[in-house]
Amino acid sequence: MTQRINTVKYLVLVGLLPTVLLGTSCDKEVLPQADAVTIQPASDTGRAKVRHLLLSYEGAWGADTRRTKENARGQTEAYLEMIQNGADFGYLAQQFSEDAQKKDGGLIGVVEQGQMVKEFEDALFALDLNEISTIVETGFGFHIVQRLPLDERLLIHIEVDTKGTRDIVSIKLQEGIDPRLLAREHSIAPHGLRGGELGWFEKEDLDTVFTTPVFALEIGTCSEPIERSETWHFFCRQG
């Protein structure tokens, strides 16, 4: 512990690390610490949830800094060492990352293969869940990347506002009628016109009334009608 903090002090002295990371005593760790996590294999779905910490340098894409490339790499290495020694990734990203996601602790969210620049994407999809990369260099600068656990559902949604329509939809779903056809015909929701297809949802994206029944669905099955605010909702899981 003493050796690690002395290394951090040295980085401050040579201008590679902000002094805000040091406490009043060299014997105390002042950074928020991350909760313990388990590295788990990631499924090959072509989708991943990711957060990162980015430091740019003069000449990098979109950069507004006079920092040299050498300085940016040294500072990123220092942050990586802190994370590896237990510092909270989100806190460091929120304080020091240089992109629009810093306010959210570096959370980019869910991305699909083909959306990101190649170097970033290659590093991300090579990671297991909760795993943190080594330093990744792209045209934007130097990144530290973490692949986060992703639990989501690909959903079709039908919303109706009368008991009669509720019963009709229930019967037709039980008969195996395509829910997209039923959404176009009966749903009062705006996305009914496109077959009720909502896209991918994580638990936090859904109203709490819907979370339990939706996340209990198997692929290819539909929920019973769920009442909320005098309307009834059906969810069918596509993926």
How far is the C-alpha of 137 from the C-alpha of 144, rounded, in Å?
9
pLDDT digits (tens, 9 = 90+) for 174-223: 999 999 999 999 999 999 999 999 999 999 999 999 999 999 999 999 99
Surface-to-core class of residue 13, CB atoms within 10 Å of its CB (0-12 exposed, 13-18 middle, 19+ buried) = exposed
101 with 166, same domain?
A: no
Q: Is the pLDDT of residue 1 over 70?
A: no
How far is the C-alpha of 199 from the C-alpha of 155, rounded, in Å?
6
Query: In the β-sheet with 226-228, what is the strand arrangement from edge to edge?
Result: 197-202, 152-160, 231-237, 226-228
Per-residue confidence band for 29, with pLDDT thresholds at 50, 70 and 90: low
106 with 187, same domain?
A: no
Per-residue confidence band for 8, with pLDDT thresholds at 50, 70 and 90: very low
Average pLDDT, the chain: 89
103 with 163, same domain?
A: no
92 with 210, same domain?
A: no
189 with 156, same domain?
A: yes
pTM (two decimals): 0.80
Which pLDDT score is estimated for 26? 33
73 or 5, which is more confident? 73
72 with 176, same domain?
A: no
Average pLDDT of the segment spanning 86-99: 97
Would you say 52 and 121 are in contact if contact means Cβ atoms under 8 Å apart?
A: no
Which pLDDT score is estimated for 218? 97
pLDDT digits (tens, 9 = 90+) for 41-63: 888 889 999 999 999 999 999 99
Residue 226 is part of a domain; what is its CATH number? 3.10.50.40
- Domain boundary (90, 120, 148) is at 148
Which three-class secondary structure state does DSSP give residue 132? strand
The β-bridge partners of 156 are: 197, 236
Q: What is the DSSP string of 102-117?
A: GGGTTEEEEEETTSS-
How far is the C-alpha of 103 from the C-alpha of 91, rounded, in Å?
10
pLDDT digits (tens, 9 = 90+) for 115-136: 999 999 999 999 999 999 999 9
- Domain boundary (133, 148, 163) is at 148
Q: Output phi, psi for 185, to 5 deg.
A: -85, -35
170 with 137, same domain?
A: no
Q: Which residue has the tokens 């949830």?
A: 49
Nearest alpha carbon to residue 50 among 152, 101, 124: 124
Q: Domain range spanning residue 118?
A: 2-148
Number of domains in the chain: 2
Q: Is the pLDDT of residue 20 over 50?
A: no
pLDDT digits (tens, 9 = 90+) for 149-183: 999 999 999 999 999 999 999 999 999 999 999 99
137 with 164, same domain?
A: no
Which pLDDT score is estimated for 110? 97
Which pLDDT score is estimated for 47? 96
For residues 162, 218, 156, 227, the Cα torsion angle rounded to the nearest 10 degrees is 30
Which pLDDT score is estimated for 39? 87
